[in-house]
Amino acid sequence: MHIPATLVRGGTSKCWLFNQVEVPADRGALERLLVAAYGATDPVELDGVGGATPTTSKAAVVSASPQPDVDVDYLFAQVGIGTGSVEWTSNCGNCATGVALYAVTKGLVPVTGDRTRVVMRNINTGAVLEGTVDTLGGVVHHFGRQTVPGTRAGGVAVGLTFRDPAGGTTGSLLPTGQAAQDLRVGAAEPVRVSMVTAGAPVVLVDAASAGRTGAESLERMTADVPWLRTVRHTAAPLMGLLQPGEELGDAVPKVGLVGQPVPYTTTLGEPIGAEDYDVSVRMLSMNAPHPAIGLTSAVAVAAAGLLEGSVVSRITGGPTDEWLRLGTPAGVVAVRCTDVRDGLPHRVTVQRAARLLADARIYVPEAGSPQAA
């Protein structure tokens, strides 16, 4: 069998997008299809269209939304690599950037002048986002010059705004009621963390309390993956994300280190000064170091920066104003919090870029065939 799909780059991720009418509505059948299409039982995803990294093994199913104030719905899928499974519990801002451009390009949302707004609802979490797509001259563009940290390639400019991002899956910005607290991880001394839900549930570890800097290389972060997974598993029940008898997945809570700004060199070889940004951030994506930062994680860091006593505000010297500059392995990502009321940002915006790479037919082994066995 074969299914139509579109490959899109959103920010620093690649994501296959499917129209809902072309794929099964049943979640189990959809998962089996994605696993087969991506070759996701194979750790290198060789016999499939998966990219064999957490940032390139993603999918989203897009449909017109029945909600009157929303243009499109999308169901995000983080396809496991070598696991033969799919994580359905999270959202991806980079893929949402691609969904916005896809919606305009495919006519799901009509062009409205030099900028076209696309309102999107993430089915996994209920989050509502706005993508402002560059349609200069009243036309859809396939190429653009907007760049983002992590790649020198240009794309169509898309401003991505998370609306009312606090709470989400845990019900509040601070699911434990504390801006920061000590977390005992295994037998080691406690580390200082902030557990926040904004964009996604995230555990931010004060790097200094853990004997780290927050500006670790990707190689060092790789060595720290088992420890950071333990942090995730320890924090999850405290955040209400794990009930007795349940098994925790690898998507949420997201976990990473934050630290003081220091000079460093990006993965593209560009020098960054300590004065160029406000806080160092190193995150995991599933069980690998993120080469930049997931946008939902960036939202959480920015929201934590608004909170007195959080591990982020202690680094920045107090609650931040509108802008927070994050030093990531790929470079500096600026996040803007606006419409802040009682410490809660009601709009969080990141400037991104997207490009449609291909329209394709993916050939998928059917159940019972030798390839599917």
3-state secondary structure 273-325: CHHHCCEEEEEEECCEECCCCCHHHHHHHHHHCCCCCCHHHHHHCCCCCCEEE
Q: What are phi and psi of 331, to 5 degrees?
A: 140, -165
pLDDT band for position 196 (cuts 50, 70, 90): very high
First to last CA, the chain: 15
Q: For the segment 289-347, what is each residue's pLDDT rounded down to a tens digit?
A: 999 999 999 999 999 999 999 999 999 998 888 899 999 999 999 999 999 998 889 99
Lowest mean pLDDT among 221-225, 339-343, 365-369: 365-369
How far apart are the C-alpha atoms of 331 and 291, rounded to whole Å? Answer: 10
Q: Count Cα atoms within 13 angstroms, Cβ side, for 265.
A: 3
Tokens, residue 77: 């899928």
- Give CA separation, 125 vs 78, 90, 162, in Å: 14, 7, 12
Contact 173, 179 (CB under 8 A): no
pLDDT at 373 over 60: no
Question: Residue 371's pLDDT band (boundaries 50, 70, 90)?
Answer: low
Instruction: Tell whether the model's pLDDT for residue 23 goes beyond 60.
Output: yes
Q: Which two tokens stand for residue 161?
A: 């705004």
Instruction: Indicate the pLDDT class of residue 204, thresholds 50, 70 and 90.
Output: very high
**CA pair distance 61, 138, nearest whole angstrom:** 27
Instruction: Give pTM, 2 decimals.
Output: 0.93
* Cα R_g (the chain), whole angstroms: 20
Query: Quick check: 283 and 338 in contact, CB under 8 A?
Result: no
Mean pLDDT of 151-178: 94
Query: Cα separation of 344 and 25, whole Å?
Result: 35
Return the bridge partners of 198, or none.
166, 200
Which whole-number Å values give the CA distances from 274 to 152, 215, 267, in the listed order?
22, 11, 16
Predicted confidence band of residue 187 (pLDDT cuts 50, 70, 90):
confident
| pLDDT value of residue 367 | 64
Contact 261, 220 (CB under 8 A): no
3-state DSSP of the chain? CEEEEEEEEECCEEEEEEEHHHCCCCHHHHHHHHHHHHCCCCCCCCCCCCCCCCCCCEEEEEEECCCCCCCEEEEEEEECCCCCCEECCCCCHHHHHHHHHHHHHCCCCCCCCCEEEEEEEECCCCCEEEEEEECHHHCCCCCCCEEECCEEEEEEEEEEEEECCECHHHCCCCCCCCCCEEECCCCCCCEEEEEEEECEEEEEEEHHHHCCCCCCCHHHHHHCHHHHHHHHHHHHHHCCCCCCCCCCCCCCCEEEEEECCCCEECCCCCEECHHHCCEEEEEEECCEECCCCCHHHHHHHHHHCCCCCCHHHHHHCCCCCCEEEEEECCEEEEEEEEEEECCEEEEEEEEEEEEEEEEEEEECCCCCCHHHC
- Asked if the model's pLDDT at residue 44 lies above 90, the reply is yes
Q: Assess contact for 160 and 129: CB atoms under 8 A.
A: yes
CA 273 to CA 41: how far, in whole Å?
A: 42
Name every residue whose Cβ is closer than 8 Å to that of residue 29 and which is 6 or more positions away in sequence.
none
pLDDT at 230 over 50: yes
Q: Please provide the average confidence, as pLDDT, over all residues in the chain.
A: 94
d(CA 290, CA 269): 17
Q: How far apart are CA 360 and CA 354, in angstroms?
A: 18
Mean pLDDT (whole number) for 125-147? 97
> Where is pLDDT greater, at 15 or 367?
15
